[in-house]
Structure 1
Amino acid sequence: MPRRVTASPGRLEQLAMCVLVLVLTGISLLSKLPCTGPPPPGLTRAAHIGRSACWSDVAALWTPRDLGLHRLPYVNGTFTSQPLTLTGGTVEYPTLGGLWIWLTALPVDSARGFLVLTAVVAGVLAVAVTLLLVRLTGRRAWVFAATPPLALYAAYNWDLLPVLCTVLGVTAMTTPRFRSSPWLRFGLAGLAFGTGAAFKLYPIMFVAAIVLAALLDRDGRPLGRRVAQASAALGGGLLVPLLANVPFALLDLDGWLAPVRFQAERATGASTLSVWYWGLLPWSSSGDPAFQHRMTALSTAATALGVLVVLAVTVVLALRRGRTPWLQSAAALLAVYMVCNKVDSLQYVLWLVPFFVVLRVGGWWVTAYLLADLAAFVGWFRSQYYGAIGQTALTWADQALAVGIWGRAALLVALVVVFLRSEPAVQQWSEPERPPAAPHDASPPAHSESIRA
């Protein structure tokens, strides 16, 4: 069936996209700045955060993680379980993310300055993601550039870093210039996804999807070449995580393990916004360490099982079609991870939106998920405000939060199937041109072939 081609926007339209992206990032920054100063008279800090929804992990970690001391993270960092803390410049993120935070903290000396600088960098990252999505899908990039997540979360955390790496990986897999060198295509895509995993773990799953594509696509390649290309994808995916972790593990094993222990001991509380806490009330709110460990084990097992199921379905589809739906598989893996993991933070929607762009997902699905996310955002902060001022009765905010949490979860489960059944929205391109065959050459002429994910 011929693939639909999305119209490519002109330079003026692309400029408009970039300007809008910067405006939304600026809105995100302005909405977070109030939390970098004292609360207004008559309000506690908790009430101020809840009323203005100005929380940002960027500013909030400045003092507790000693970022102002500008210490190299993961070296001489300390972890304590009672209370759960990380000190010495070490943060609860993979090492490349910690190094990025350390580097961007160096020029500033306050939480406010750190937030502003981080937002400026986020604007650059968001523009880069937008332009890459334009290249991949044309006007569909508006889904990323003109929807609420950037305004809500661009300056919330550092999630645009793995988002950029993810889109770079998709670009590497679908760029015409790499079509004639599959091992380079798979290696660069693996490198991009692996770099994303060194910022936030989730893109490492996408390496598995392209490894399956390298092994299972029926395109006339001999087995040895398939294995070599799969090895290039796997090697590229592991290179940056190894380079970013091994030196720290050798220098200070305890400091390197500190964020791992922190995440393992992190309670599945209300702020994790996951179905594990909200679905297992009242036991999940009891503070019982044994029950917390069981929830962590359950969420880990559910995530692993979900990932294996998606990969198994991907293998079946690849064997049936002769072409691996690696892009659809990557999106489904992400949906499984988000719904099964013990944490489903608000800003994770930024991970998902690029897949709404590069896959032909119905607009109703996109709209429904963004509305559910908005309900979770408004419900969470407003319910925190009501709690901070002593409101104990059930409010509309609690109902909105419930709609957001369970709406997101139900939609993610459905999206696993929707993604696997969808078609790529990446614009068509042709095989590289081959020189004309000699008269005595019986080989058939080259044909233009559209990319298939």
Structure 2
Amino acid sequence: MTERWTQRIDPRWVLALTCLLGWAFKGHCGAAWGGSIQYVTGCYSDAVPFWGLRGVSAGQVPYLEARMEYPVLTGLLIWIEGFVTRTVFGASATAAHFLFVVAAVNAALAFLVLRMLRRAGVDRARQYAWAAAPPLVLYLGHNWDMLAVTFAVAALLSARSGDTPRAASLAALGSAAKLFPVLMLPLLGLGALFSRGGGSVARRVAMSSVLVVVAVGSWALVNLPVAAMAFTNWSEFYAFSSERAGTAGSVWEILAQSGWWATTIPERNLWSAALFIGGAALIVAAGWRRHGARPWILFAPVLAWFLLTNKVYSPQFDLWLYPVLLLTSYRLWPVAWFAVADVAAYFAEFWYFAGLDGQRPAATLSDIALAAGFRAGAMLWIIGAALIRPAPHWIETAPSSTDDVHSIATLPNLRRYGRQ
């Protein structure tokens, strides 16, 4: 019965419905927020304040004319979306129109991810898990992290097909949209350096060196011109990340608010970096025996550990991890646990902000800690399972095509998608 159902309903139709729900979730508030509706209903979106506060409505160029606390490819995407909004809606364009364009572009990226999954031979259950992803409902109109997510998925699929230089380039470009894809690069380098079938030591060193050059070159290609013209604004993302104290859902803030361990910003920077590096090294060492031939599989547990130890855990960070888990997790039920916990943590955090404004429903810091603990339990289970479980079945089969992971930047391909 389940097989007949999955064969009868195309995942693309499911994804279309999910995207509509995602737009309705964020768009129903419009841009005239009152009574803390953005927290009460959870419809908060970075697009609304960015429209006026980052010069998007005025057409200012990010970094050169306006501040931007995002890496350069995300800044470019924001400028393009602002241009489209002003062109389509003219003088009457508002933040609500900009929010619609942001959600529409993210929906296109979500369809591109689904297409890559289909062409790579990912099993149908995982396609449905992406098509009906709760994080897409929560974050489709939230901000611009889908761009880096798309690069990360493309990089993983390139690595799976054996094209590690392309995977390194895509991961580096992804880190020029949001930093987290950079965590894949050491895994690709270690795989090239210690590959069991990689030939002589000199050949393996040469291959790993090529990956370093490709990654650095790809990142520099889009970053250096902007850094040369507007270094202060270009570097704001990195300065802002270093100077942030933390967010309510991070373990550091929960410990501080509970009175267990209060830390200053420099202390959080130090301890979070030390715990992440040490834990990531242990994860790679423990998982190497099973996944040494495909070390990129360990990107999922390394990323999960990064989120757990980082001083900042914004709600949309769960969108980073969710598709990576779909690609690499042996079983899907821990991923479902993670998705349910993501919804709980999302509303706990926003309802906490609603309570601060005297609105209802209201949550407490204890509610946030409970939801974050439930999510952390899922992530720790996922990390442990990744080290002892084999790769999922779809990874063992040869990819049917790598064309789509090679054309991450060719969004016009989506026009042909409906005719295939």
User: What does residue range 167-316 of structure 1 map to in structure 2 within 5 Å?
Assistant: 167-175=153-161, 185-219=163-197, 221-270=199-248, 273-281=249-257, 291-314=264-287
Aligned to 1:409: 376
Q: Does 1:340 align with 2:309?
A: yes
1:324 Cα deviation after fit: 3.1
Separation in 2, partners of 1:37, 1:322: 47
1:430 Cα deviation after fit: 5.3
Separation in 2, partners of 1:345, 1:365: 21
User: What does residue range 68-87 of structure 1 map to in structure 2 within 5 Å?
Assistant: 68-76=57-65
Separation in 1, partners of 2:295, 2:232: 37
Check conservation: 1:143, 1:353, Cα contact below 8 A. no
Distance verdict in 2 for CA 1:430–1:117, change over 3 Å: closer
Aligned to 1:102: 79
TM-superposition CA deviations, 1:24-74 (whole Å, max 9, x none)? 1222122212444324xxx53xx2222221101222322222222222222
1:284 Cα deviation after fit: 10
Alignment equivalent of 1:132, drawn from 116, 126, 134: 116
TM-superposition CA deviations, 1:112-146 (whole Å, max 9, x none)? 12111111111111011112123341212212112
Distance verdict in 2 for CA 1:285–1:252, change over 3 Å: farther
Distance verdict in 2 for CA 1:277–1:68, change over 3 Å: same
Aligned to 1:62: 51
Separation in 1, partners of 2:47, 2:6: 35
Check conservation: 2:151, 2:174, Cα contact below 8 A. yes
Cα-Cα RMSD: 2.9
Separation in 1, partners of 2:23, 2:102: 9
1:228 Cα deviation after fit: 2.6
Aligned to 2:410: none
Separation in 2, partners of 1:283, 1:248: 43
Distance verdict in 2 for CA 1:278–1:116, change over 3 Å: same
1:168 Cα deviation after fit: 1.0
TM-superposition CA deviations, 1:73-112 (whole Å, max 9, x none)? 2225xxxxxxxxxxx2x32111111111112211224311
Q: Does 1:162 align with 2:148?
A: yes
Residue identity opposite 2:334 in structure 1: W
Residue identity opposite 1:75 in structure 2: L
Residue identity opposite 1:70 in structure 2: G
Separation in 2, partners of 1:161, 1:38: 27
User: What does residue range 335-414 of structure 1 map to in structure 2 within 5 Å?
Assistant: 335-389=304-358, 400-414=367-381
1:220 Cα deviation after fit: 5.7
Residue identity opposite 1:108 in structure 2: T
Separation in 2, partners of 1:401, 1:27: 25
Separation in 1, partners of 2:228, 2:365: 47
Q: Does 1:24 align with 2:9?
A: no
Separation in 1, partners of 2:13, 2:372: 32
Check conservation: 1:218, 1:322, Cα contact below 8 A. no
Q: Helix, strand or coil for the counterpart of 2:235?
A: helix
Residue identity opposite 2:32 in structure 1: P
Separation in 2, partners of 1:381, 1:322: 39
Separation in 2, partners of 1:247, 1:162: 20
TM-superposition CA deviations, 1:275-321 (whole Å, max 9, x none)? 111111166999xxx8233223322332233333334445xx25xx6
Separation in 2, partners of 1:377, 1:131: 28
Q: Helix, strand or coil for the counterpart of 2:202?
A: helix
Residue identity opposite 2:26 in structure 1: K
Separation in 1, partners of 2:54, 2:212: 34
TM-superposition CA deviations, 1:331-373 (whole Å, max 9, x none)? 1110111111111111122211223222243333122211211
1:404 Cα deviation after fit: 1.5
Separation in 1, partners of 2:42, 2:261: 23
Distance verdict in 2 for CA 1:233–1:240, change over 3 Å: same
Check conservation: 1:214, 1:226, Cα contact below 8 A. yes
Aligned to 1:440: none
Check conservation: 1:70, 1:106, Cα contact below 8 A. yes
Residue identity opposite 1:106 in structure 2: F
Aligned to 1:449: none
Separation in 1, partners of 2:30, 2:345: 23
Separation in 1, partners of 2:291, 2:324: 23
Count of residues in Structure 1 that have an aligned counterpart in Structure 2: 388
Residue identity opposite 1:114 in structure 2: F
1:399 Cα deviation after fit: 5.1
Separation in 2, partners of 1:111, 1:194: 31
Distance verdict in 2 for CA 1:162–1:422, change over 3 Å: farther
Distance verdict in 2 for CA 1:419–1:376, change over 3 Å: same
> Which is worse superposed, 343-352 or 255-264?
255-264
Separation in 2, partners of 1:430, 1:254: 46
Residue identity opposite 1:296 in structure 2: N
TM-score (norm 2): 0.83
Residue identity opposite 1:243 in structure 2: L
Check conservation: 1:269, 1:277, Cα contact below 8 A. yes
Identity of aligned residues (%): 25
Distance verdict in 2 for CA 1:31–1:254, change over 3 Å: same
Separation in 2, partners of 1:25, 1:124: 9
Q: Does 1:145 align with 2:131?
A: yes
Check conservation: 2:54, 2:68, Cα contact below 8 A. yes
Aligned to 2:68: 91
Q: Helix, strand or coil for the counterpart of 1:67?
A: coil
